[in-house]
Chains A and B, each alone.
Chain A
Amino acid sequence: MPLARRALALTLAIAIAPAAAPGVLLAQGLPWQRIDRRMPADPHASIRILDLAGSIRVTGWDQDSVSISGTVPRGAGQFYAGGSRTGIKLGIETDSLGAPGVELDVRVPRAATVWIKSSSATVTLGGVEGDVDIATVSGDIRVEGAPRRVSAEAMDGDIELTTRAAVTRAKTAGGTITINGGGGDVTASSVSGAVRYTGAHKLLVGRLESVSGTVTFQGTVIRGGTLAIETHDGPVDVRVPRDQAARFDLTSFGGAVTNALAGGDPVVPKGKPLRFTSGADDAGGATVTVRTFKGNVRLGGS
């Protein structure tokens, strides 16, 4: 959809005033203002984006500059951008709690550190290798690539991280969390939404929790690593390779615990823990712990 709007803006711009500056377009009574800025930036610059009023796409590139383009609807707020080569701050200053319709496309140096605070629309980020920290209220967050560390927080939005990072933090209240890739140090927490982890990379320390949502884990835990999963009544589904060496400790006080891996009972009486060790030896296997008040727990092979 952003593409269509930009195309429309471009068509109108060409039709009305081919060489016009944004101010002239505004004077023509168009409902939006075009942004087109470029600022020099160091490779490891720190970029802060306060887009309280719309959607943002941030992409890492191989230039020593930050480029910002997009459209700001009239009345949505005042665009600003400033700073130095090492630190740039940009955003939309608005007195409302999140006017819709602003669309920004920001390019940043690949190794930059990016901090974004947005209100109600999607934040999409890719190709950034520095630290990434994104917080939205009701917007969705999508991150791709290999940031050094990624932290994503949304109150109501969904979070999708297709990333490989040393440290991953995802937090939402009402939304779902989907992690594809993962590995390293991962913490994902939702209150009423689902948490889905599909690991392509080995997990070192993992903590997945939801109060009432489903938690699913599919991946491998490194030797000596830990995976802890907690829900209150959300179901839990854990799938590890059949040769995963680990100590398993699964308890549901009010729900059923079933197991399809060798080495442990297939089912236990309600409220009783399922504990067993599987894998070659128990010197340094992983620890997988699941605690739920009354969710059902399933353990199986991936």
Chain B
Amino acid sequence: MNCERARELLDRWPAGLIPAGEAEAFDQHLAGCAACREDRAAATAVAPAVAALPERIEPPRDLWPDVRRRIGRPLRRTPRWRTMGLAAAAAIALVAGSSAVTLHFARGRPGVATAPRIPAIEAGYASATADLLRALDAQRSHLSPATIATLERNLAVIDAAIAESRAALASDPGNRDLEALLLAGYRQKVALLQQATRLAERS
């Protein structure tokens, strides 16, 4: 008997109780093979514990109200409280960021507009992005693999742009135009995720 066959047997009988026909050959192989001995020891140690695992683990809270909210019916609108709330939060971050940008554009002259506070705004976008990604995860069964691929591809384009803008801003801090470009990248990321979330919603 070789290792492959021995492993196959252990696969079928993880408790190590090999049937009579092959038991002897199995024992002989193990006598001379440390690796397979270890595999059997592992299998026999684990198998009883696996058998004792509970078949059910009740979720810490009743999920039925949320499930029911999500399933709804075709002619009745599924409440979008969860994604609406998160999209609203993202929108607030958007406004906070973009109003500074709009002001800058309107004035057209750096130094006149109030400087956006980059770290605070970045944190706001980071949090909005994380929330949206979570919400999107929850809805991913409503998106096809092709859509997910498109989303990923375009997120990568935006992330690359954000990274470049950040790097440039790091070597020229306080440059209002670069700040505006960086914030534009964040805004586009949030907007793209919001768009994907809207598409994934059933209504």
Asked if chains A and B are in direct contact (CB within 8 A), the reply is yes
Which A residues fall within an 8 A CB radius of B? 50, 80, 82, 89, 91, 93, 97-98, 117, 135, 137-138, 153, 155-156, 171, 173-174, 189, 191-192, 209, 211-212, 226, 228, 230, 232-233, 247, 249, 251, 253, 273, 275, 287, 289, 291-294
A249 touches B75 (CB 8 A): no
Q: How distant is A234 from chain B, measured CB to nearest CB, in Å?
A: 10
Q: Which of A93, A97, A155, A291 contacts B180 (CB 8 A)?
A: A291
A173 touches B151 (CB 8 A): yes
Q: Which of A98, A191, A273 contacts B188 (CB 8 A)?
A: A191
B74 touches A232 (CB 8 A): no
Question: What A residues does B106 contact at CB under 8 A?
Answer: 226, 287
Q: Which of A50, A232, A287 contacts B165 (CB 8 A)?
A: A232
Question: What A residues does B165 contact at CB under 8 A?
Answer: 232, 293
B168 touches A192 (CB 8 A): no
Nearest-CB residue, chain A, relative to B150: A156
Bound together, the chains give a CA A82 to CA B157 distance in angstroms of 42
Q: How distant is A232 from chain B, measured CB to nearest CB, in Å?
A: 4
15 contacts between A and B (CB under 8 A): A50-B74, A155-B147, A171-B195, A173-B192, A174-B153, A212-B161, A226-B105, A232-B164, A249-B108, A251-B177, A253-B177, A287-B105, A289-B105, A289-B108, A292-B181
B contacts with A: majority SS: helix
Question: What A residues does B108 contact at CB under 8 A?
Answer: 247, 249, 275, 287, 289
A80 touches B158 (CB 8 A): no
Chain B interface category by residue count = 20 to 34
Question: What B residues does A89 contact at CB under 8 A?
Answer: 75
Question: What A residues does B164 contact at CB under 8 A?
Answer: 232, 293-294
Question: What B residues does A275 contact at CB under 8 A?
Answer: 108
Question: What A residues does B99 contact at CB under 8 A?
Answer: none
A contacts with B: majority SS: strand
Also in contact, A291 and B181, with CB within 8 A (given A192-B157, A209-B188): yes
When each residue 7-19 of chain B gets 1 if its CB lies under 8 Å from chain A and 0 otherwise, what string results? 0000000000000
Which B residues fall within an 8 A CB radius of A? 74-75, 105-106, 108, 142-144, 146-147, 150-151, 153-154, 157-158, 161, 164-165, 168, 177-178, 180-181, 184-185, 188, 191-192, 195-196, 198-199, 203
Q: Which of B144, B161, B198, B203 contacts A97 (CB 8 A)?
A: B144
Bound together, the chains give a CA A155 to CA B142 distance in angstroms of 14
B191 touches A171 (CB 8 A): yes
Q: Which of B75, B168, B196, B203 contacts A155 (CB 8 A)?
A: B196
Nearest-CB residue, chain A, relative to B98: A207
B144 touches A98 (CB 8 A): yes
Question: What B residues does A212 contact at CB under 8 A?
Answer: 157, 161
A191 touches B75 (CB 8 A): no
Question: What A residues does B154 contact at CB under 8 A?
Answer: 173-174, 191-192
Nearest-CB residue, chain A, relative to B201: A117
Bound together, the chains give a CA A89 to CA B191 distance in angstroms of 27
Question: What A residues does B157 contact at CB under 8 A?
Answer: 191-192, 211-212
B188 touches A189 (CB 8 A): yes
Nearest-CB residue, chain B, relative to A93: B74
